[in-house]
Chains A and B, each alone.
Chain A
Protein backbone atom coordinates (compact mmCIF):
# COMPACT_ATOMS: atom_id res chain seq x y z
CA UNK A 1 0.00 0.00 0.00
CA UNK A 2 1.38 3.37 -0.99
CA UNK A 3 1.31 5.84 1.90
CA UNK A 4 0.24 9.37 1.00
CA UNK A 5 2.51 10.71 3.71
CA UNK A 6 4.02 14.18 3.56
CA UNK A 7 7.46 12.61 3.16
CA UNK A 8 6.31 10.58 0.15
CA UNK A 9 4.52 13.56 -1.34
CA UNK A 10 7.72 15.61 -1.06
CA UNK A 11 9.71 12.82 -2.69
CA UNK A 12 7.27 12.47 -5.58
CA UNK A 13 7.35 16.21 -6.21
CA UNK A 14 11.11 16.07 -6.40
CA UNK A 15 10.95 13.16 -8.86
CA UNK A 16 8.55 14.94 -11.21
CA UNK A 17 5.52 13.32 -12.81
CA UNK A 18 7.49 10.64 -14.69
CA UNK A 19 9.20 9.53 -11.49
CA UNK A 20 5.93 9.62 -9.58
CA UNK A 21 4.39 7.39 -12.23
CA UNK A 22 7.32 4.98 -11.89
CA UNK A 23 6.84 4.95 -8.14
CA UNK A 24 3.13 4.17 -8.48
CA UNK A 25 3.92 1.51 -11.09
CA UNK A 26 5.68 -0.55 -8.40
CA UNK A 27 2.29 -0.99 -6.74
CA UNK A 28 0.40 -2.06 -9.85
CA UNK A 29 1.21 -5.80 -9.85
CA UNK A 30 -0.34 -5.86 -6.36
CA UNK A 31 -3.55 -4.44 -7.82
CA UNK A 32 -3.65 -6.80 -10.79
CA UNK A 33 -1.65 -9.98 -11.19
CA UNK A 34 -2.07 -9.74 -14.96
CA UNK A 35 -0.28 -6.44 -15.18
CA UNK A 36 2.14 -5.78 -18.02
CA UNK A 37 4.24 -2.66 -18.51
CA UNK A 38 5.28 -1.70 -22.02
CA UNK A 39 7.60 1.10 -22.97
CA UNK A 40 9.06 2.44 -26.21
CA UNK A 41 12.70 2.65 -25.11
CA UNK A 42 11.64 4.95 -22.27
CA UNK A 43 12.16 2.71 -19.23
CA UNK A 44 14.51 5.14 -17.51
CA UNK A 45 12.60 8.19 -18.67
CA UNK A 46 9.32 6.72 -17.35
CA UNK A 47 10.87 6.11 -13.92
CA UNK A 48 10.53 2.37 -14.45
CA UNK A 49 14.06 1.28 -13.56
CA UNK A 50 12.98 -0.09 -10.19
CA UNK A 51 9.91 -1.68 -11.75
CA UNK A 52 12.13 -3.42 -14.30
CA UNK A 53 14.44 -4.70 -11.58
CA UNK A 54 11.58 -5.93 -9.42
CA UNK A 55 9.36 -7.33 -12.18
CA UNK A 56 11.61 -8.17 -15.15
CA UNK A 57 8.99 -10.58 -16.53
CA UNK A 58 6.33 -7.88 -16.62
CA UNK A 59 8.35 -5.19 -18.35
CA UNK A 60 8.38 -5.30 -22.15
CA UNK A 61 10.64 -2.87 -23.91
CA UNK A 62 9.25 -2.57 -27.43
CA UNK A 63 11.97 -0.27 -28.73
CA UNK A 64 11.43 3.04 -30.49
CA UNK A 65 8.30 1.79 -32.20
CA UNK A 66 5.26 3.44 -30.65
CA UNK A 67 2.74 2.25 -33.22
CA UNK A 68 3.84 -1.32 -32.69
CA UNK A 69 3.73 -0.78 -28.92
CA UNK A 70 0.08 0.26 -29.01
CA UNK A 71 -0.74 -2.74 -31.23
CA UNK A 72 1.10 -5.16 -28.96
CA UNK A 73 -0.67 -3.60 -25.97
CA UNK A 74 -3.95 -4.21 -27.83
CA UNK A 75 -3.16 -7.88 -28.37
CA UNK A 76 -2.17 -8.35 -24.73
CA UNK A 77 -5.21 -6.47 -23.48
CA UNK A 78 -7.58 -8.62 -25.50
CA UNK A 79 -5.94 -11.69 -23.99
CA UNK A 80 -6.86 -10.42 -20.54
CA UNK A 81 -3.74 -8.55 -19.47
CA UNK A 82 -3.86 -5.16 -17.75
CA UNK A 83 -1.46 -3.26 -19.97
CA UNK A 84 0.25 0.06 -19.41
CA UNK A 85 2.33 1.58 -22.22
CA UNK A 86 4.59 4.58 -21.83
CA UNK A 87 6.21 7.07 -24.16
CA UNK A 88 6.37 10.81 -24.71
CA UNK A 89 2.83 12.22 -24.92
CA UNK A 90 3.39 13.43 -28.43
CA UNK A 91 4.50 10.03 -29.71
CA UNK A 92 1.65 8.35 -27.84
CA UNK A 93 -0.91 10.62 -29.44
CA UNK A 94 0.21 12.02 -32.77
CA UNK A 95 2.54 9.28 -33.95
CA UNK A 96 0.33 6.40 -32.85
CA UNK A 97 -3.01 8.09 -33.46
CA UNK A 98 -4.42 5.46 -35.80
CA UNK A 99 -3.38 2.55 -33.57
CA UNK A 100 -4.89 4.41 -30.60
CA UNK A 101 -8.08 5.01 -32.53
CA UNK A 102 -8.49 1.42 -33.73
CA UNK A 103 -7.34 -0.38 -30.56
CA UNK A 104 -8.49 1.89 -27.75
CA UNK A 105 -11.36 3.67 -29.46
CA UNK A 106 -12.92 1.26 -31.94
CA UNK A 107 -12.14 -2.03 -30.18
CA UNK A 108 -12.30 -0.52 -26.66
CA UNK A 109 -9.24 -2.51 -25.60
CA UNK A 110 -8.36 -1.46 -22.06
CA UNK A 111 -4.88 -0.13 -22.73
CA UNK A 112 -3.55 2.45 -20.25
CA UNK A 113 -1.50 4.72 -22.46
CA UNK A 114 0.79 7.02 -20.52
CA UNK A 115 1.77 10.28 -22.23
CA UNK A 116 4.92 11.58 -20.55
CA UNK A 117 5.96 15.25 -20.45
CA UNK A 118 2.83 16.61 -22.10
CA UNK A 119 2.82 20.36 -22.60
CA UNK A 120 6.03 22.35 -22.66
CA UNK A 121 8.21 20.83 -19.93
CA UNK A 122 10.74 19.39 -22.38
CA UNK A 123 10.68 22.55 -24.48
CA UNK A 124 14.44 22.83 -24.66
CA UNK A 125 14.35 19.68 -26.82
CA UNK A 126 12.13 21.53 -29.27
CA UNK A 127 8.57 21.35 -30.51
CA UNK A 128 9.00 17.73 -31.66
CA UNK A 129 9.04 16.62 -28.02
CA UNK A 130 6.35 18.93 -26.65
CA UNK A 131 2.75 17.82 -26.78
CA UNK A 132 0.08 20.47 -27.06
CA UNK A 133 -2.45 18.59 -29.22
CA UNK A 134 -2.87 15.31 -27.36
CA UNK A 135 -6.05 16.19 -25.44
CA UNK A 136 -7.73 17.33 -28.66
CA UNK A 137 -6.79 14.08 -30.42
CA UNK A 138 -7.74 11.74 -27.59
CA UNK A 139 -10.95 13.63 -26.86
CA UNK A 140 -12.20 13.23 -30.42
CA UNK A 141 -11.81 9.45 -30.30
CA UNK A 142 -14.78 7.65 -28.70
CA UNK A 143 -14.40 5.50 -25.58
CA UNK A 144 -11.11 6.85 -24.22
CA UNK A 145 -10.99 8.12 -20.64
CA UNK A 146 -8.54 11.04 -20.34
CA UNK A 147 -6.82 11.70 -17.03
CA UNK A 148 -4.74 14.80 -16.49
CA UNK A 149 -3.43 14.91 -12.92
CA UNK A 150 -2.56 18.23 -11.31
CA UNK A 151 0.63 17.18 -9.57
CA UNK A 152 2.70 14.17 -8.52
CA UNK A 153 0.37 13.07 -5.76
CA UNK A 154 -2.50 13.09 -8.19
CA UNK A 155 -0.29 11.30 -10.72
CA UNK A 156 0.08 8.46 -8.22
CA UNK A 157 -3.67 8.50 -7.55
CA UNK A 158 -4.53 8.57 -11.25
CA UNK A 159 -2.10 5.74 -12.05
CA UNK A 160 -3.66 3.49 -9.40
CA UNK A 161 -7.16 4.47 -10.55
CA UNK A 162 -6.27 3.72 -14.18
CA UNK A 163 -5.09 0.24 -13.22
CA UNK A 164 -8.47 -0.44 -11.60
CA UNK A 165 -10.41 1.02 -14.53
CA UNK A 166 -11.66 -1.50 -17.09
CA UNK A 167 -11.66 0.52 -20.29
CA UNK A 168 -8.98 2.40 -22.25
CA UNK A 169 -7.28 5.32 -20.52
CA UNK A 170 -4.96 8.06 -21.69
CA UNK A 171 -2.93 9.34 -18.74
CA UNK A 172 -1.48 12.77 -19.49
CA UNK A 173 1.48 13.79 -17.34
CA UNK A 174 2.56 17.41 -17.12
CA UNK A 175 4.75 19.68 -15.04
CA UNK A 176 8.42 20.14 -14.39
CA UNK A 177 10.92 18.61 -12.03
CA UNK A 178 10.48 19.37 -9.22
CA UNK A 179 6.78 19.34 -9.78
CA UNK A 180 4.78 22.04 -8.01
CA UNK A 181 2.53 20.37 -5.41
CA UNK A 182 -1.19 21.08 -5.26
CA UNK A 183 -2.03 18.31 -2.80
CA UNK A 184 -0.06 18.12 0.43
CA UNK A 185 -1.93 15.26 2.08
CA UNK A 186 -4.15 12.31 1.22
CA UNK A 187 -7.52 12.98 -0.41
CA UNK A 188 -10.31 11.29 -2.32
CA UNK A 189 -9.71 10.80 -6.06
CA UNK A 190 -12.38 9.44 -8.34
CA UNK A 191 -12.25 9.27 -12.15
CA UNK A 192 -14.78 11.72 -13.59
CA UNK A 193 -15.26 13.70 -10.39
CA UNK A 194 -13.69 17.16 -10.42
CA UNK A 195 -12.28 18.61 -7.21
CA UNK A 196 -13.11 22.12 -5.96
CA UNK A 197 -9.94 23.48 -4.43
CA UNK A 198 -11.02 27.04 -3.71
CA UNK A 199 -14.39 28.69 -3.29
CA UNK A 200 -15.23 32.09 -4.71
CA UNK A 201 -18.10 33.99 -6.31
CA UNK A 202 -16.79 36.36 -8.95
CA UNK A 203 -14.79 34.05 -11.16
CA UNK A 204 -14.74 30.29 -11.75
CA UNK A 205 -11.45 28.83 -12.92
CA UNK A 206 -11.43 25.30 -14.27
CA UNK A 207 -7.88 24.06 -14.70
CA UNK A 208 -6.18 20.80 -15.53
CA UNK A 209 -2.72 19.27 -15.11
CA UNK A 210 0.15 21.56 -14.20
CA UNK A 211 -2.10 24.61 -14.63
CA UNK A 212 -4.07 23.82 -11.48
CA UNK A 213 -1.14 25.05 -9.36
CA UNK A 214 -0.67 28.20 -11.44
CA UNK A 215 -4.42 28.88 -11.37
CA UNK A 216 -4.44 28.66 -7.57
CA UNK A 217 -1.59 31.16 -7.57
CA UNK A 218 -3.57 33.42 -9.93
CA UNK A 219 -6.64 33.14 -7.68
CA UNK A 220 -4.56 34.25 -4.69
CA UNK A 221 -3.35 37.29 -6.65
CA UNK A 222 -6.93 38.15 -7.67
CA UNK A 223 -8.05 37.80 -4.06
CA UNK A 224 -5.57 40.51 -3.08
CA UNK A 225 -7.58 42.78 -5.36
CA UNK A 226 -10.84 41.77 -3.78
CA UNK A 227 -11.91 39.37 -6.53
CA UNK A 228 -12.90 35.92 -5.33
CA UNK A 229 -12.45 32.82 -7.47
CA UNK A 230 -13.51 29.23 -7.42
CA UNK A 231 -10.74 26.93 -8.63
CA UNK A 232 -11.54 23.45 -9.88
CA UNK A 233 -9.08 20.64 -10.60
CA UNK A 234 -10.55 19.00 -13.71
CA UNK A 235 -8.33 15.92 -13.55
CA UNK A 236 -10.64 13.93 -15.80
CA UNK A 237 -11.19 15.55 -19.17
CA UNK A 238 -13.29 12.72 -20.52
CA UNK A 239 -15.82 11.85 -19.30
CA UNK A 240 -16.18 15.48 -18.29
CA UNK A 241 -17.72 16.30 -14.91
CA UNK A 242 -20.53 18.37 -16.38
CA UNK A 243 -22.28 18.81 -13.04
CA UNK A 244 -19.17 20.53 -11.66
CA UNK A 245 -19.16 22.90 -14.65
CA UNK A 246 -22.88 23.67 -14.38
CA UNK A 247 -22.28 24.49 -10.71
CA UNK A 248 -20.08 27.43 -11.69
CA UNK A 249 -22.62 29.32 -13.78
CA UNK A 250 -23.23 31.90 -11.03
CA UNK A 251 -19.78 33.39 -11.63
CA UNK A 252 -19.38 36.49 -13.78
CA UNK A 253 -16.54 34.94 -15.74
CA UNK A 254 -15.66 31.34 -16.46
CA UNK A 255 -11.99 30.62 -17.17
CA UNK A 256 -10.35 27.42 -18.36
CA UNK A 257 -6.59 26.98 -18.02
CA UNK A 258 -4.52 24.22 -19.59
CA UNK A 259 -1.01 23.49 -20.77
CA UNK A 260 -2.38 22.47 -24.13
CA UNK A 261 -3.47 24.19 -27.32
CA UNK A 262 -6.39 26.55 -26.82
CA UNK A 263 -8.03 24.62 -29.64
CA UNK A 264 -9.78 21.40 -28.75
CA UNK A 265 -8.58 20.90 -25.20
CA UNK A 266 -10.22 21.51 -21.84
CA UNK A 267 -11.44 24.92 -23.03
CA UNK A 268 -13.18 23.32 -25.98
CA UNK A 269 -14.65 20.58 -23.81
CA UNK A 270 -16.15 23.09 -21.37
CA UNK A 271 -17.45 25.27 -24.21
CA UNK A 272 -19.12 22.24 -25.81
CA UNK A 273 -20.69 21.35 -22.48
CA UNK A 274 -22.17 24.84 -22.16
CA UNK A 275 -23.12 25.39 -25.80
CA UNK A 276 -26.74 24.56 -25.15
CA UNK A 277 -27.05 26.53 -21.92
CA UNK A 278 -28.95 29.82 -22.31
CA UNK A 279 -27.70 31.86 -19.37
CA UNK A 280 -24.01 31.47 -18.65
CA UNK A 281 -20.96 33.61 -18.01
CA UNK A 282 -18.58 34.39 -20.87
CA UNK A 283 -15.68 31.93 -21.12
CA UNK A 284 -12.01 32.82 -21.30
CA UNK A 285 -9.83 30.03 -22.70
CA UNK A 286 -6.27 30.26 -21.45
CA UNK A 287 -3.80 27.84 -23.00
CA UNK A 288 -1.11 27.57 -25.62
CA UNK A 289 -1.44 29.84 -28.63
CA UNK A 290 -1.86 28.34 -32.08
CA UNK A 291 1.81 28.45 -33.08
CA UNK A 292 5.16 26.74 -32.59
CA UNK A 293 7.68 28.82 -30.72
CA UNK A 294 11.42 28.39 -30.60
CA UNK A 295 12.96 25.72 -28.36
CA UNK A 296 13.50 27.00 -24.84
CA UNK A 297 13.39 25.82 -21.25
CA UNK A 298 10.13 25.24 -19.40
CA UNK A 299 9.91 28.44 -17.31
CA UNK A 300 10.80 30.51 -20.35
CA UNK A 301 8.13 28.88 -22.51
CA UNK A 302 5.45 29.13 -19.83
CA UNK A 303 6.17 32.83 -19.73
CA UNK A 304 6.17 33.13 -23.51
CA UNK A 305 2.69 31.63 -23.61
CA UNK A 306 1.43 33.59 -20.60
CA UNK A 307 0.94 30.57 -18.38
CA UNK A 308 2.57 31.64 -15.10
CA UNK A 309 0.36 32.46 -12.12
CA UNK A 310 0.82 36.25 -12.35
CA UNK A 311 0.23 36.24 -16.11
CA UNK A 312 -2.91 34.12 -15.75
CA UNK A 313 -4.15 36.57 -13.09
CA UNK A 314 -3.43 39.49 -15.42
CA UNK A 315 -5.24 37.90 -18.37
CA UNK A 316 -8.23 37.05 -16.20
CA UNK A 317 -8.34 40.55 -14.73
CA UNK A 318 -8.38 42.14 -18.17
CA UNK A 319 -11.30 40.00 -19.28
CA UNK A 320 -13.07 40.40 -15.95
CA UNK A 321 -12.92 44.19 -16.21
CA UNK A 322 -14.45 43.91 -19.65
CA UNK A 323 -17.36 41.63 -18.73
CA UNK A 324 -18.21 42.24 -15.08
CA UNK A 325 -20.80 44.89 -16.03
Chain B
Protein backbone atom coordinates (compact mmCIF):
# COMPACT_ATOMS: atom_id res chain seq x y z
CA UNK B 1 0.00 0.00 0.00
CA UNK B 2 2.95 2.29 0.47
CA UNK B 3 3.03 5.20 -1.93
CA UNK B 4 -0.67 5.15 -2.75
CA UNK B 5 -2.39 8.04 -1.03
CA UNK B 6 -6.01 9.11 -0.83
CA UNK B 7 -5.53 11.79 -3.48
CA UNK B 8 -4.27 9.22 -5.92
CA UNK B 9 -7.23 6.95 -5.25
CA UNK B 10 -9.62 9.82 -5.89
CA UNK B 11 -7.81 10.77 -9.09
CA UNK B 12 -7.99 7.17 -10.26
CA UNK B 13 -11.68 7.01 -9.50
CA UNK B 14 -12.19 10.19 -11.54
CA UNK B 15 -10.15 8.79 -14.42
CA UNK B 16 -12.21 5.60 -14.47
CA UNK B 17 -15.33 7.75 -14.52
CA UNK B 18 -14.02 9.84 -17.42
CA UNK B 19 -13.50 6.72 -19.50
CA UNK B 20 -17.03 5.52 -18.84
CA UNK B 21 -18.51 8.98 -19.39
CA UNK B 22 -16.85 9.38 -22.78
CA UNK B 23 -18.46 6.14 -23.85
CA UNK B 24 -21.82 7.37 -22.55
CA UNK B 25 -21.38 10.64 -24.45
CA UNK B 26 -20.68 8.82 -27.68
CA UNK B 27 -23.63 6.48 -27.17
CA UNK B 28 -25.95 9.39 -26.42
CA UNK B 29 -24.74 11.24 -29.50
CA UNK B 30 -25.36 8.22 -31.67
CA UNK B 31 -28.81 7.80 -30.13
CA UNK B 32 -29.60 11.45 -30.83
CA UNK B 33 -29.31 10.64 -34.54
CA UNK B 34 -29.69 13.36 -37.16
CA UNK B 35 -30.38 16.15 -34.63
CA UNK B 36 -26.77 15.79 -33.51
CA UNK B 37 -25.13 16.69 -30.22
CA UNK B 38 -22.68 19.15 -28.68
CA UNK B 39 -19.76 16.73 -28.64
CA UNK B 40 -16.79 19.11 -28.72
CA UNK B 41 -17.61 21.06 -25.58
CA UNK B 42 -18.93 17.95 -23.85
CA UNK B 43 -15.66 16.09 -24.34
CA UNK B 44 -13.49 19.04 -23.30
CA UNK B 45 -15.08 19.16 -19.85
CA UNK B 46 -15.06 15.43 -19.01
CA UNK B 47 -12.19 15.62 -16.52
CA UNK B 48 -13.65 18.78 -14.98
CA UNK B 49 -17.09 17.29 -14.39
CA UNK B 50 -15.53 14.04 -13.22
CA UNK B 51 -13.32 15.85 -10.71
CA UNK B 52 -16.43 17.67 -9.50
CA UNK B 53 -18.79 14.70 -9.13
CA UNK B 54 -16.28 12.10 -7.99
CA UNK B 55 -13.84 14.22 -6.03
CA UNK B 56 -15.06 17.68 -5.08
CA UNK B 57 -18.83 18.13 -4.75
CA UNK B 58 -20.77 17.19 -1.64
CA UNK B 59 -24.17 15.74 -2.52
CA UNK B 60 -26.59 13.04 -1.46
CA UNK B 61 -28.28 11.15 -4.27
CA UNK B 62 -31.00 9.98 -1.88
CA UNK B 63 -31.62 13.53 -0.69
CA UNK B 64 -31.02 15.85 -3.65
CA UNK B 65 -32.38 18.83 -1.69
CA UNK B 66 -29.94 18.32 1.19
CA UNK B 67 -29.32 21.81 2.55
CA UNK B 68 -25.59 21.31 3.01
CA UNK B 69 -24.93 20.02 -0.52
CA UNK B 70 -22.68 22.04 -2.78
CA UNK B 71 -24.61 23.88 -5.49
CA UNK B 72 -23.25 23.01 -8.91
CA UNK B 73 -24.43 25.21 -11.76
CA UNK B 74 -23.72 24.17 -15.33
CA UNK B 75 -23.83 27.51 -17.05
CA UNK B 76 -22.58 26.12 -20.37
CA UNK B 77 -25.78 24.19 -20.96
CA UNK B 78 -24.37 22.69 -24.13
CA UNK B 79 -22.15 20.58 -21.87
CA UNK B 80 -25.21 18.36 -21.38
CA UNK B 81 -23.53 15.18 -22.66
CA UNK B 82 -20.87 15.31 -19.96
CA UNK B 83 -23.34 16.52 -17.33
CA UNK B 84 -25.87 13.72 -17.88
CA UNK B 85 -23.09 11.16 -18.05
CA UNK B 86 -21.77 12.35 -14.67
CA UNK B 87 -25.25 12.55 -13.14
CA UNK B 88 -25.89 9.00 -14.30
CA UNK B 89 -22.66 7.62 -12.89
CA UNK B 90 -23.32 9.49 -9.67
CA UNK B 91 -26.75 7.87 -9.45
CA UNK B 92 -29.05 10.84 -10.14
CA UNK B 93 -30.10 9.69 -13.60
CA UNK B 94 -31.05 6.16 -14.54
CA UNK B 95 -28.40 4.77 -16.89
CA UNK B 96 -31.01 3.43 -19.31
CA UNK B 97 -32.50 6.93 -19.68
CA UNK B 98 -29.30 8.10 -21.37
CA UNK B 99 -30.44 6.46 -24.60
CA UNK B 100 -33.41 8.86 -24.65
CA UNK B 101 -31.10 11.89 -24.94
CA UNK B 102 -32.72 14.55 -27.12
CA UNK B 103 -35.67 12.34 -28.02
CA UNK B 104 -39.16 13.81 -27.83
CA UNK B 105 -40.60 13.92 -24.28
CA UNK B 106 -37.26 12.98 -22.68
CA UNK B 107 -36.08 14.69 -19.52
CA UNK B 108 -32.58 14.65 -21.02
CA UNK B 109 -33.07 17.68 -23.24
CA UNK B 110 -30.42 19.23 -25.46
CA UNK B 111 -29.79 21.83 -22.78
CA UNK B 112 -30.47 20.79 -19.18
CA UNK B 113 -33.82 21.52 -17.62
CA UNK B 114 -34.15 22.39 -13.92
CA UNK B 115 -34.86 19.12 -12.12
CA UNK B 116 -33.53 19.03 -8.59
CA UNK B 117 -34.64 15.45 -8.00
CA UNK B 118 -32.15 14.49 -10.70
CA UNK B 119 -29.53 16.86 -9.33
CA UNK B 120 -30.05 19.65 -11.87
CA UNK B 121 -30.19 22.96 -10.01
CA UNK B 122 -31.15 25.28 -12.87
CA UNK B 123 -32.18 25.27 -16.50
CA UNK B 124 -29.55 26.53 -18.90
CA UNK B 125 -29.06 27.08 -22.59
CA UNK B 126 -29.10 30.85 -22.82
CA UNK B 127 -25.43 31.52 -22.28
CA UNK B 128 -23.86 33.72 -19.66
CA UNK B 129 -26.49 33.41 -16.93
CA UNK B 130 -25.06 30.83 -14.55
CA UNK B 131 -22.64 33.10 -12.74
CA UNK B 132 -25.45 35.49 -11.73
CA UNK B 133 -27.48 32.52 -10.50
CA UNK B 134 -24.40 31.45 -8.56
CA UNK B 135 -24.02 34.86 -6.93
CA UNK B 136 -27.70 34.79 -5.93
CA UNK B 137 -27.40 31.25 -4.56
CA UNK B 138 -24.26 32.11 -2.61
CA UNK B 139 -25.87 35.23 -1.13
CA UNK B 140 -28.94 33.25 -0.09
CA UNK B 141 -26.86 30.49 1.54
CA UNK B 142 -24.82 33.03 3.45
CA UNK B 143 -27.89 34.97 4.56
CA UNK B 144 -29.30 31.89 6.27
CA UNK B 145 -26.02 30.97 7.90
CA UNK B 146 -25.05 28.09 5.64
CA UNK B 147 -21.28 28.56 5.56
CA UNK B 148 -20.67 24.95 4.59
CA UNK B 149 -21.94 24.65 1.04
CA UNK B 150 -19.91 25.92 -1.87
CA UNK B 151 -21.40 27.25 -5.08
CA UNK B 152 -19.50 26.02 -8.12
CA UNK B 153 -20.25 27.38 -11.58
CA UNK B 154 -18.90 25.89 -14.81
CA UNK B 155 -18.76 28.16 -17.83
CA UNK B 156 -17.37 27.91 -21.33
CA UNK B 157 -14.75 30.28 -22.65
CA UNK B 158 -16.92 31.36 -25.58
CA UNK B 159 -19.82 31.81 -23.19
CA UNK B 160 -18.02 34.47 -21.24
CA UNK B 161 -18.20 36.78 -24.25
CA UNK B 162 -21.57 37.65 -22.70
CA UNK B 163 -21.46 40.98 -20.87
CA UNK B 164 -23.65 39.96 -17.95
CA UNK B 165 -20.96 37.43 -16.98
CA UNK B 166 -18.70 40.34 -16.16
CA UNK B 167 -21.45 42.05 -14.19
CA UNK B 168 -21.62 38.91 -12.09
CA UNK B 169 -17.82 38.68 -12.01
CA UNK B 170 -17.82 42.11 -10.33
CA UNK B 171 -20.61 41.14 -7.93
CA UNK B 172 -19.02 38.02 -6.41
CA UNK B 173 -15.97 39.82 -4.98
CA UNK B 174 -18.08 42.88 -4.12
CA UNK B 175 -20.28 40.72 -1.90
CA UNK B 176 -17.17 38.90 -0.62
CA UNK B 177 -18.47 35.52 -1.71
CA UNK B 178 -15.64 33.30 -0.59
CA UNK B 179 -18.04 30.35 -0.93
CA UNK B 180 -18.01 30.70 -4.73
CA UNK B 181 -15.91 28.90 -7.30
CA UNK B 182 -15.98 29.49 -11.03
CA UNK B 183 -14.30 27.07 -13.39
CA UNK B 184 -13.89 28.01 -17.03
CA UNK B 185 -13.58 25.25 -19.61
CA UNK B 186 -11.02 27.10 -21.71
CA UNK B 187 -11.00 24.87 -24.79
CA UNK B 188 -10.05 27.75 -27.06
CA UNK B 189 -12.78 27.21 -29.64
CA UNK B 190 -16.21 28.67 -30.01
CA UNK B 191 -18.81 28.02 -32.66
CA UNK B 192 -17.35 30.23 -35.37
CA UNK B 193 -13.68 29.59 -34.72
CA UNK B 194 -10.91 30.17 -32.23
CA UNK B 195 -11.47 32.42 -29.26
CA UNK B 196 -8.65 34.62 -30.56
CA UNK B 197 -10.35 35.06 -33.91
CA UNK B 198 -13.92 35.53 -32.73
CA UNK B 199 -13.42 37.64 -29.63
CA UNK B 200 -10.00 37.64 -28.06
CA UNK B 201 -10.37 37.88 -24.30
CA UNK B 202 -6.68 37.84 -23.50
CA UNK B 203 -5.41 36.35 -20.26
CA UNK B 204 -8.53 35.08 -18.50
CA UNK B 205 -6.87 34.37 -15.17
CA UNK B 206 -5.43 37.88 -15.14
CA UNK B 207 -8.86 39.28 -15.98
CA UNK B 208 -10.58 37.49 -13.12
CA UNK B 209 -7.71 38.42 -10.84
CA UNK B 210 -8.18 42.08 -11.72
CA UNK B 211 -11.93 41.71 -11.06
CA UNK B 212 -11.14 40.65 -7.49
CA UNK B 213 -11.03 36.87 -7.73
CA UNK B 214 -8.25 34.52 -6.73
CA UNK B 215 -7.42 32.83 -9.98
CA UNK B 216 -5.40 29.81 -11.00
CA UNK B 217 -4.53 28.19 -14.30
CA UNK B 218 -4.65 24.44 -14.59
CA UNK B 219 -4.40 21.73 -17.22
CA UNK B 220 -8.06 20.78 -17.49
CA UNK B 221 -7.28 17.19 -18.45
CA UNK B 222 -4.87 16.56 -15.57
CA UNK B 223 -7.08 15.10 -12.86
CA UNK B 224 -4.68 15.39 -9.89
CA UNK B 225 -3.99 19.01 -10.87
CA UNK B 226 -7.71 19.75 -11.26
CA UNK B 227 -8.54 18.20 -7.92
CA UNK B 228 -5.79 20.25 -6.33
CA UNK B 229 -7.02 23.43 -8.00
CA UNK B 230 -10.36 23.10 -6.19
CA UNK B 231 -8.40 22.98 -2.93
CA UNK B 232 -6.68 26.31 -3.64
CA UNK B 233 -6.89 28.38 -0.46
CA UNK B 234 -8.93 31.48 -1.19
CA UNK B 235 -10.62 34.27 0.70
CA UNK B 236 -11.86 35.94 -2.44
CA UNK B 237 -14.05 33.95 -4.84
CA UNK B 238 -11.98 31.42 -6.74
CA UNK B 239 -11.68 31.33 -10.53
CA UNK B 240 -10.09 28.25 -12.07
CA UNK B 241 -9.14 28.60 -15.72
CA UNK B 242 -8.92 25.04 -17.01
CA UNK B 243 -7.01 24.75 -20.26
CA UNK B 244 -8.62 22.02 -22.31
CA UNK B 245 -8.88 20.60 -25.80
CA UNK B 246 -12.24 20.71 -27.52
CA UNK B 247 -13.32 17.22 -28.58
CA UNK B 248 -10.73 15.67 -26.23
CA UNK B 249 -10.28 11.92 -26.52
CA UNK B 250 -11.54 11.41 -30.07
CA UNK B 251 -8.80 12.07 -32.62
CA UNK B 252 -10.96 13.47 -35.40
CA UNK B 253 -12.88 15.75 -33.06
CA UNK B 254 -9.95 17.27 -31.18
CA UNK B 255 -9.52 20.99 -31.89
CA UNK B 256 -11.99 20.65 -34.74
CA UNK B 257 -14.54 23.45 -34.89
CA UNK B 258 -16.97 21.31 -36.88
CA UNK B 259 -17.59 19.10 -33.83
CA UNK B 260 -19.07 21.88 -31.72
CA UNK B 261 -22.45 20.44 -32.63
CA UNK B 262 -22.65 17.63 -35.11
CA UNK B 263 -24.33 14.42 -36.07
CA UNK B 264 -22.35 11.32 -35.20
CA UNK B 265 -22.64 8.60 -37.84
CA UNK B 266 -22.43 4.87 -37.09
CA UNK B 267 -18.98 4.66 -38.71
CA UNK B 268 -17.69 7.65 -36.78
CA UNK B 269 -19.13 6.19 -33.60
CA UNK B 270 -17.32 2.92 -34.14
CA UNK B 271 -14.04 4.66 -34.82
CA UNK B 272 -14.44 6.83 -31.74
CA UNK B 273 -15.29 3.82 -29.60
CA UNK B 274 -12.26 1.92 -30.94
CA UNK B 275 -10.12 4.84 -29.84
CA UNK B 276 -11.57 4.60 -26.35
CA UNK B 277 -10.56 0.97 -26.16
CA UNK B 278 -7.14 1.87 -27.49
CA UNK B 279 -6.64 4.50 -24.81
CA UNK B 280 -7.43 2.02 -22.05
CA UNK B 281 -6.01 -1.22 -23.52
CA UNK B 282 -3.55 -0.39 -26.32
CA UNK B 283 -2.62 -4.07 -26.62
CA UNK B 284 -6.21 -4.94 -27.61
CA UNK B 285 -6.20 -2.40 -30.39
CA UNK B 286 -2.92 -3.78 -31.65
CA UNK B 287 -4.30 -7.32 -31.64
CA UNK B 288 -7.19 -6.18 -33.81
Q: Which of chain B's residues has its CB closest to A62's CB?
A: B171
> Does A72 reach chain B (CB closer than 8 Å)?
yes
Contact A68–B134 (Cβ < 8 Å): no
Size of chain A's interface in residues, with CB distance under 8 A? 29
> Does A186 reach chain B (CB closer than 8 Å)?
no
Determine, out of B36-44, B119-127, B221-229, B260-268, the stretch whose residues face the partner at the interface: B119-127
Size of chain B's interface in residues, with CB distance under 8 A? 28
Contact A72–B164 (Cβ < 8 Å): no
> Does A71 reach chain B (CB closer than 8 Å)?
yes
Contact B143–A75 (Cβ < 8 Å): no
Contact B167–A67 (Cβ < 8 Å): yes
> Does A229 reach chain B (CB closer than 8 Å)?
no
> Does B160 reach chain A (CB closer than 8 Å)?
no
Determine, out of A77-85, A86-94, A156-164, the stretch whose residues face the partner at the interface: A77-85
> Does A250 reach chain B (CB closer than 8 Å)?
no
Once the chains are docked, how many angstroms separate the CA of A34 from the CA of B145?
13
Q: Which of chain A's residues has its CB closest to B130's CB?
A: A71
B interface secondary structure, majority:
helix
Contact B136–A107 (Cβ < 8 Å): no
Which residues of chain B have C-beta atoms less than 8 A from A36's C-beta?
Answer: 139-140, 143
Task: Kindly identify which residue among B136, B141, B143, B144 contacts A72, using a CB–CB cutoff of 8 Å.
Answer: B136
Which residues of chain A have C-beta atoms less than 8 A from B163's C-beta?
Answer: 67
Task: Kindly identify which residue among A63, A74, A98 contacts B133, using a CB–CB cutoff of 8 Å.
Answer: A74
> Does A228 reach chain B (CB closer than 8 Å)?
no
Contact A71–B114 (Cβ < 8 Å): no
Task: Kindly identify which residue among B123, B135, B138, B175 contacts A71, using a CB–CB cutoff of 8 Å.
Answer: B135
Residues on B lying within 8 angstroms of A by beta carbon are 114, 121-123, 125-126, 129, 131-141, 143-144, 163-164, 167-168, 170-171, 174-175
Can you list 7 pairs linking A and B with CB atoms under 8 Å apart? A60-B175, A74-B136, A78-B140, A79-B140, A80-B140, A102-B125, A103-B133
Cβ-closest 8 pairs across A and B? A75-B136, A71-B132, A79-B140, A68-B167, A65-B167, A72-B136, A67-B164, A75-B137
